[in-house]
């Protein structure tokens, strides 16, 4: 399989190109482009969360620990002293960074359910929920961040499959087919559990009508047809009438913060 640096590099390139297209389409405010890029990069290493000694797993649980520690602490900010808030913060952080980390890796299997399209969709929905309710971002920005997580995740799975092909020896390695799959075929229980968690997330997810309107295949196709290649010669600018934007498909009255 591809190593961490390869996944990170390709994830950064893919996220950067995706953010550039999003900026050209004027889908989200320019200030959120780095948020989307970071989401794409994170998504590109997420499938290795089930490797206990891998950097992505440690970073993810550290990040989750920090996020929820501050989230819980803020809820008690006006009720307790600084020392008590420190105890709460440290307790939540340790519970997630070390407790949840240990429990997760006792049950996780590498290239199991987390190396699947189902997991990619799960993390997309989870990202939308966290961005909307945890960070207070607008619904369309939250879902776009989730989409970048999804595509970064997909880049990782595809890279692992590509690296499972020995082009010099013209053969397939034993790992071929284990990275890119719809769900974990060998463990229907874990796949069913993740599918259930995904449904639960979708029930509490932020509104997606505006996001779905923007991402209609016809809108996306029209945008790339008009904007992908220069119409007046390379680096000579564009005419105003040629600037077709996906943002025109937004629901009237919608607001992106």
Q: What is the DSSP string of 5-30?
A: HHHHHHHHHHHHHHHHHHHHHT-S-G
19-23, 32-36, 171-175: least confident range:
171-175
Residue 230: inside a domain: yes
Q: How many residues does the chain have?
A: 257
pTM of the model: 0.76
In the prediction, which pLDDT does 110 show?
Answer: 66
Average pLDDT score over residue span 204-231: 86
For residues 205 and 2, which has the higher predicted lDDT (pLDDT)? 205
Q: How many domains does the chain have?
A: 1
State residue 6 phi and psi, 5-degree precision. Answer: -65, -45
Average pLDDT score over residue span 127-152: 92
In the prediction, which pLDDT does 49 show?
Answer: 80
Has residue 243 got a pLDDT over 70? Answer: no
- Give the structural domain span for 129: 4-52+108-249
Q: Give the side-chain half-sphere CA count within 13 A for 36.
A: 26
Residue 70: inside a domain: no
SS3 117: helix
Has residue 85 got a pLDDT over 60? Answer: yes
Residue 85: inside a domain: no
Residue 122: inside a domain: yes
């Amino acid at each position: 399989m591809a190593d961490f640096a390869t996944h990170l590099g390709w994830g950064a390139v893919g996220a950067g190109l995706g953010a550039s297209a999003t900026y050209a389409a004027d889908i989200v405010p320019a200030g959120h482009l780095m948020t989307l890029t970071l989401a794409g990069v994170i998504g590109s290493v997420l499938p290795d969360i089930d490797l206990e000694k891998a950097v992505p797993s440690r970073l993810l649980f550290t990040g989750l620990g920090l996020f929820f520690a501050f989230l819980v602490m803020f809820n008690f900010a006006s009720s307790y002293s600084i020392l008590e808030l420190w105890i709460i913060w440290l307790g939540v952080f340790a519970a997630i960074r070390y407790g949840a980390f240990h429990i997760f890796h006792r049950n996780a299997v590498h290239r199991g359910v987390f190396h699947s399209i189902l997991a990619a969709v799960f993390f997309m929905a989870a990202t939308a929920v966290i961005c909307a309710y945890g960070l207070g971002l607008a619904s369309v920005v939250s879902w776009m961040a989730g989409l970048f997580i999804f595509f970064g995740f997909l880049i990782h799975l595809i890279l692992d499959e590509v690296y499972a092909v020995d082009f010099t020896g013209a053969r397939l390695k034993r790992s071929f087919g284990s990275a890119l799959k719809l769900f974990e075929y060998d463990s229907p229980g874990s796949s069913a559990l993740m599918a259930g968690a995904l449904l639960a997330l979708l029930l509490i997810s932020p509104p997606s009508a505006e996001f779905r309107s923007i991402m209609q295949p016809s809108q996306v196709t029209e945008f790339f047809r008009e904007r992908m290649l220069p119409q007046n010669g390379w680096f000579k600018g564009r005419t105003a009438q040629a600037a077709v934007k996906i943002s025109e498909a937004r629901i009237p009255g919608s607001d992106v913060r």
